[in-house]
Amino acid sequence: MLDTILQEIMSPQLQMAIYLFVGFIAALYVLSVVYVFIDAKRRGVGAFWAWGIVGLIPFVGLIAYLVLRPNSYLADREEQELDMALRERQLSAYGTCPQCGSPIEKDFVVCPVCNTQVRNVCPSCHRPLDAHWKVCPYCRTHIQ
């Protein structure tokens, strides 16, 4: 009796719709695994743990990966690190105080934080000089 009811309900059109729906779900699963693999490589994540999450728990795993993944791409993080290194290098061009380590600009004579003298002053033009200079480059005064 149950078989006859199922045969009446399961028309060829309904069977085709069910097969298409199952195929669609399977395609979504495969695409989610491919997406996780590509996205994990771009973000510098070990793709195997990401595949494991998506593979073991298909659609909930995708949501978990989206929550747990790094929020920036590896290339962006490398660019930020290079930018920070460049800025640090530009700041170090001015120098740091030998006493307290705070940044010193190139025309500072004393450290504004600890009042340590960091450069000499030309007796003639009163411009800051480096300690190893023998002549003032601004007014040609010989430094002793």
The chain-wide mean pLDDT, for the chain, equals 84
The arithmetic mean of pLDDT across residues 67-88, rounded, is 87
CA atoms within 13 Å, Cβ hemisphere of 17 = 6
Token pair belonging to 132: 């190893």
* Rounded percentage of the chain residues whose pLDDT exceeds 90: 22
CA atoms within 13 Å, Cβ hemisphere of 14 = 6
Is residue 8's pLDDT more than 70?
yes
- The pTM of the whole model exceeds 0.75: no
Token pair belonging to 100: 């307290």
- Residue 122 to residues 38, 74, 80, 108, 134: CA-CA distances in angstroms? 62, 50, 41, 13, 10
Nearest Cα to 36, choosing from 27, 22, 49?
A: 49
